[in-house]
Amino acid sequence: MEYKISNRMKDMKGSAIREIFKVAGDPSYISLAGGNPAPELFPSSALAGIAAELLENEPVLSLQYGVTEGYKPLREAIRARLMRIENIGTPDDDVLIVSGGQQAIDLTTKCLINEGDTVIVEEPSFIGALNTFRSYGAKLAGVAMDNEGMKPEDLERAIAENPNAKIIYTIPTFQNPMGVTMTIERRKAVYEIAKKHGLIILEDNPYGELTFDGTKVPTIKSMDTDGVVVYCGSFSKILAPGLRVGFVCGPAALLQKLAVAKQGSDVHTPMLTQLLAHEFMKQYDIDSLIVEMRNLYRHKCQVMLDAIEQYFPAGVTHTTPNGGLFIWCDLGEGVDTQKLAALATERKVVYVPGATFMTDMSKPCSGLRLNFSTMPDARIVEGIRILGEVFHDALKK
């Protein structure tokens, strides 16, 4: 039988990252490709105790159907924490639990985007979000980035060129893939532009707590007095990604619709994983765990930056993140990092070529993303050394 795939899905392919993951699963490869948190910081023993206790003492709560909006005490704990650490949340806002931050993006798109509408995105941006937008038939319009984030004047241009634009998608803090942070001035500008044109800002902030020096630029959501911002957060990078517990904070009027969409998608996020996140926050100090992560990632980032300075050819530029999981490098005009990725893979080092993160993936791209959170220090250095050789050879030609 021949399968007629829907228009929205027929040109969709698995993300390049996903294919790279399959190679990267092989431990003989040095993977600088994924976005995996450092597994040595998973509080697995604490979670083991909590899980056993919950299933023994609260079997019905842990195993029976739950409500779509999420476990109420967890919603309340997240609401309180968002207020405390990010100054987020007005009386008109609500918090929903979702199955990872990805689902917040999915549901928001499903509720706001008609086929042919435009989503405005940073260029480069997170492939998982770009593909979700594409999977609902959205057109993507890229806004140029520099070390201060999305350029407001380019955002204005994108809106002018796309009268059907409905959403501005941004990862303002420790952006994926660039690792850069949008300045407060630009955040204010982006917020005002969105408000003026009646666009929703989808603020994705999975890495915000992973600040190396403890400083934070205020989230766009913290400025939101008009119900313009839908804010996505997640336990993936501050507890464990395999749990798939995320949350969304936004205008209650809109989140009601997201809950209807979620009901049709997976009914509710598993009770056990929600309860693990909730009990961990109750019984342990998640802020201390996050401080450990910050320290580890600051160190690993520095290891990678030092290796880049030592091994990469002069002329390769890189970002210098103040948090998060990623460094972005640029090999200079005319270099196609997709081709070089094949050579690197032959030498058992994998990274994600920059074209993956672009609105038009078919154009050659001289950028690439490196992840520093997953590999041990020595493997980071070795991986960068090998990449340095591959890049030297390529740039000589």
- Residues 287-316 touching a copy of itself, rule: CB under 8 A, are none
Which residues, 6 or more positions from 108, have their beta carbon under 8 angstroms from its beta carbon?
Answer: 167, 200, 202, 230, 232, 248, 258
Judged by CB under 8 A, which of 12, 144, 291, 378 binds a copy of itself? 12
Judged by CB under 8 A, which of 94, 106, 154, 204 binds a copy of itself? 106
How many residues in the shown chain lie near a copy of itself by CB under 8 A?
Answer: 90
User: Is 259 or 380 the residue whose CB approaches a copy of itself more closely?
Assistant: 259
* Burial grade of 394 (CB within 10 A; 0-12, 13-18, 19 or more): middle
User: Is 226 or 393 the residue whose CB approaches a copy of itself more closely?
Assistant: 226
User: Is 65 or 314 the residue whose CB approaches a copy of itself more closely?
Assistant: 65
Separation between Cα atoms, residue 72 and residue 95, nearest integer Å: 10
CB of 281 to a copy of itself, least distance (A): 16
Which residues, 6 or more positions from 87, have their beta carbon under 8 angstroms from its beta carbon?
Answer: 218, 219, 222
138-155: b (≥16 Cβ within 10 Å) or e: bbbbbbebeeebbbbebb
Query: Should residue 131 be labelled a site residue for a copy of itself when binding is judged by CB under 8 A?
Result: yes
Query: Should residue 21 be labelled a site residue for a copy of itself when binding is judged by CB under 8 A?
Result: yes
> Would you call the peptide bond into 177 cis, given omega within 30 degrees of 0 as the criterion?
yes
- The contact pattern for a copy of itself, residues 327-366, with x = CB under 8 A and - = no contact, is ----------------------------------------
User: Is 47 or 82 the residue whose CB approaches a copy of itself more closely?
Assistant: 47
Judged by CB under 8 A, which of 60, 163, 215, 288 binds a copy of itself? 60
Which one, of 173, 165, 231, 172, lies nearest residue 194 by Cα? 165
Please list every residue from 203 through 262 that binds a copy of itself, using CB under 8 A.
Answer: 226-228, 236, 240-244, 251, 253-254, 257, 259-261
CB of 251 to a copy of itself, least distance (A): 7
